[in-house]
Structure 1
């Protein structure tokens, strides 16, 4: 099944199951996150398919499929890391564990929403990813058990302000403000069973991924080129802590042009940062398409440089 959350012309937010060009709406007040938390996603979807209130998708605004309580974003594609390293090679640490950072769950935007250039950014970039959504909570989950904890998958665009990101990471923290202004999630949450036919012999999901800017293809990859399958990401995320229903785990950016910065690192000088008016389109086989337009953002309120301090002690 394919779950969507929509904003109707009257302003009401509803969720339902997408079938062809319609949404079979669930009762008002129902949310995908609540269904995940109660374990009722499959039953609710079956009810919607049987007698849901059908409305045309055309003209509706697609919101993120769910209000994710947390978003962990991994860096699971070796080719992406290699390009970002700009010739320095992939560090040995990358191979040891599937590293992630937390991004801002309050900054999720819909599949076709405009994305504003963040304040102070001059080097805006996209990042083409797929995300798993947790359907059943747990702690210290073994990789062999992790598939039972994944409700489904969606597309994730981890927008990046590269100039802000590189400055803050030079302080040995981050990424922080370079990432927390927008993350596109959508267009739907596809339940895990629908994507099982795409499994390759090693158990990875072999989904074709493409990204284009203003209609020109920039990148193309297979999701199965991840260094770890999503089951390993779930296990690592839950190590020493817990994952809960609705948590989102991003794959990290695919290789072969999944973002501009990877190509900049490989010496491409013909690809400028994103500007207002640019349209970024991402498509993932079996899931759908995102299409976001860049718009002008606000100027930042100035914050002065750190004041010199005397380092006095009590």
Structure 2
């Protein structure tokens, strides 16, 4: 896939030619195949804050967190400390991101082995753009030309560990940095697959229960704006992945809940498909709250 991305329009043309008359020996029933991550080792990964409603809800809970902290909740006290440190008004004005480990990628249907140091398991429904063309200081009007396609991105989050690191003001740390913490898939869809890229349906389900049903129209910043930001005085490369951040309701913490051992998380993004994983917690540590 990396070679195909680097091959540009000529590689896509050849792929379309092959697919128009594929050799029968190359066709397998999907049930007999195991899908790997479309890019098991991306060139680079960055998770952006293109959706801001998810963070806004966190700030809206500050009064509730203060009451819970006063009643003796250590978890509420930790979340409150983070909220007091962060400037939400700046998040609305500036496209921010954090750097992701490209060695932490997992695939569709792969079990997510939860780190032993965490009891607060969470997922995040995101989608991501895959860069197809090298560039530097890309102007906004040219940004779309650097997009190869889109994939689903599950940003697994150990919330208890994340809060500790964020309270110190150093980012999510071990809360989002463990084996398999970033699931990509089930495929990469090229832009021509989409009905309307400004209004893409995004759904999260846990054990078949729908937890959110939103749309990309709620993005405060666009992928094109992310490309402009990521290429400022630095080069972007084919195979880079920039994720959107979490859609509102697309995580357990948005609902005041957490995942438990054996929970199946399904993330569906229109025109891409469904990304499905089961959480495996060591010692069955956590019950849903």
| Range of TM-score over shorter length | 0.7 to 0.9
Deviation of 1:215 (Å): 1.0
Q: Distance in 2 between matches of 1:44 and 1:56?
A: 23
Deviation of 1:180 (Å): 1.8
Which of 97, 122, 127 pairs up with 1:100?
Answer: 97
Q: What do the CA deviations read for 1:196-254 (whole angstroms, capped 9, x no partner)?
A: x314xxxx2x1111111111111111012100111111111111211100001101000
| Paired residue secondary structure (1:106) | coil
* Structure 2 equivalent of residue 159 of structure 1: 156
Query: Where in structure 2 are the equivalents of 1:176-195 lying within 5 Å?
Result: 176-181=173-178, 182-195=181-194
Structure 2 gaps, min length 5: 63-82, 285-289
1:287 aligns with 2:279: no
Count of equivalent residues: 254
Which of 136, 139, 163 pairs up with 2:136?
Answer: 139
Which of 38, 41, 44 pairs up with 1:65?
Answer: 38
Deviation of 1:274 (Å): 1.1
Q: Give the structure-1-normalised TM-score.
A: 0.77
| Paired residue secondary structure (2:17) | helix
More helix per residue: 2
Deviation of 1:86 (Å): 4.2
* Structure 2 equivalent of residue 23 of structure 1: none
Deviation of 1:34 (Å): 1.3
CA contact (8 A) 1:83 1:263 kept: no
For the structure 1 residues 285 and 138, does the alpha-carbon distance in structure 2 shift closer, same or farther, using more than 3 Å as the test?
same
Query: Where in structure 2 are the equivalents of 1:77-96 lying within 5 Å?
Result: 77-88=51-62, 91-96=88-93
Q: Distance in 2 between matches of 1:163 and 1:59?
A: 38
Q: Distance in 1 between matches of 2:283 and 2:20?
A: 47
Q: Distance in 1 between matches of 2:121 and 2:90?
A: 27
Q: Distance in 1 between matches of 2:138 and 2:11?
A: 21
Q: Distance in 1 between matches of 2:99 and 2:12?
A: 28
Q: What do the CA deviations read for 1:288-310 (whole angstroms, capped 9, x no partner)?
A: 001101113489xxxxxxxxxxx
CA contact (8 A) 1:103 1:176 kept: no
Q: What do the CA deviations read for 1:117-153 (whole angstroms, capped 9, x no partner)?
A: 1120110100000100000011111111100000000
| Paired residue secondary structure (1:92) | helix
Query: Where in structure 2 are the equivalents of 1:114-263 lying within 5 Å?
Result: 114-181=111-178, 182-195=181-194, 197-199=195-197, 204=198, 206-255=199-248, 257-263=249-255
Q: What do the CA deviations read for 1:247-299 (whole angstroms, capped 9, x no partner)?
A: 011010001x11112233xxxxxx3x212111111111111001101113489
Which of 54, 69, 73 pairs up with 2:27?
Answer: 54
Q: Distance in 2 between matches of 1:84 and 1:282?
A: 21
What is the alpha-carbon root mean square deviation over aligned residues? 1.8
Structure 1 gaps, min length 5: 1-31, 265-270, 300-314
Q: What do the CA deviations read for 1:106-127 (whole angstroms, capped 9, x no partner)?
A: 1111111110111201101000
